[in-house]
Amino acid sequence: MSNKCLRLAAALIGVVSLGIPARAQGAESRVTVSGDLRAETGASFNGFRVELSALDQRGEVAGCDVQLDGAFTIRNVAPGSYMLFVRTFDGGVVHREPVNVLQQLTALTVNLRLRTNAAGAPGTISMKQLLHPPDRKALQAVQSAHRFAESGQTLKAIEELEKAIRISPDYAEAYNNLGVQKMRAGKMEEASADFHKALEITGPNAFVLTNLAIAQRELRHYPEAIDYARSALRLDRRVVPAHLVLGAVLITEPETRAEGISHLQLVAEKSDVARQLLERVNQLQASAR
């Protein structure tokens, strides 16, 4: 699962892997970028990363973990123009801005916009998440759950995620991932409750809303599935599974079939499921003539 799009089958959100520099450069041309994140008093940055992505043809990416007080240091960076990203533990982007790295040491101050209510704008992180970051043991439990999920041990993954939540009750990613694993176990009602809990913590989130739409579709609560998928797409039109689940529901009714087809066509190049559904619709329409 990761800013990365969740599949319809669903998977745990993975930890973001940073790329390796595209080409080596002389050590004398490299510099150190230091700085700090700033937010409301009392905010902790446990689990945050800062990433620099080159805007030129080099495509270079460099990054580092952020200290609890917001300080960060990225070494061995080539001078140039970059997009700076601030990411949470699950890879979600909470801030981005263009920056220039100069020949001499570059110091940056990054001011994060905070969301104080559930209706905050996309691209920000909720105050509740900043003030209540997950405990290290909770992070370890989520990583353990990811390994169990990858090996198909769904029930053990569920146990580890429930452990993470007991340790850190405001750990939104753990609730979301728990919902995904419960969907895999066929526990759709429980999964929906976990997704709702995640949304209480994060506020509107395209990926959690998409998961909720999938769960509601599996429960045959089709109007709810449509509403959640539409909400996800209002936040981010790039979420492929939201188009997929919305299209899959809408094509079942003649009056909404055209709209459903349009959603499937938007993601057909990226989704085998979308292509299969479109082929099925075409066959049904051909046989009805």
**229 found inside a domain:** yes
CATH number at residue 195: 1.25.40.10
Q: What is the pLDDT of residue 8?
A: 38
Q: What is the pLDDT of residue 163?
A: 95
**188 found inside a domain:** yes
Single pTM value for the model: 0.60
Q: Among residues 116, 151, 182, which one ends one of the domains?
A: 116
**48 found inside a domain:** yes
Q: What is the pLDDT of residue 42?
A: 57
Q: pLDDT (tens digit, 9 = 90+) per residue, 71-103?
A: 899 988 888 888 888 887 656 677 878 888 887
Residue 31's domain comprises 27-116
Q: Among residues 116, 145, 180, which one ends one of the domains?
A: 116
- For residues 130-164, one letter each, b for 16 or more C-beta atoms within 10 angstroms of the residue's C-beta and e for the rest, the string is bebbbeeebbebbebbbebbeeeebebbbbbbbbb
Q: What is the pLDDT of residue 185?
A: 94
CA dist., res. 255 & res. 240, Å (int): 23
Q: What is the pLDDT of residue 122?
A: 42
CA dist., res. 35 & res. 77, Å (int): 14
CA dist., res. 172 & res. 98, Å (int): 28
Q: pLDDT (tens digit, 9 = 90+) per residue, 37-83?
A: 887 655 667 778 888 888 765 667 888 888 877 889 998 888 888 88
The dihedral built from the CA positions of residue 129, 142, 163 and 209, taken in this order, carries a sign that is positive
Q: Identify the segments of the chain with pLDDT beneath 70.
A: 1-28, 40-44, 56-59, 89-92, 104-106, 113-132
Whether residue 99 is found in the same domain as residue 31? yes
Whether residue 43 is found in the same domain as residue 112? yes
Task: Report the percentage of the chain scoring pLDDT > 70.
Answer: 78
The total of structural domains in the chain comes to 3
Q: What is the pLDDT of residue 1?
A: 38
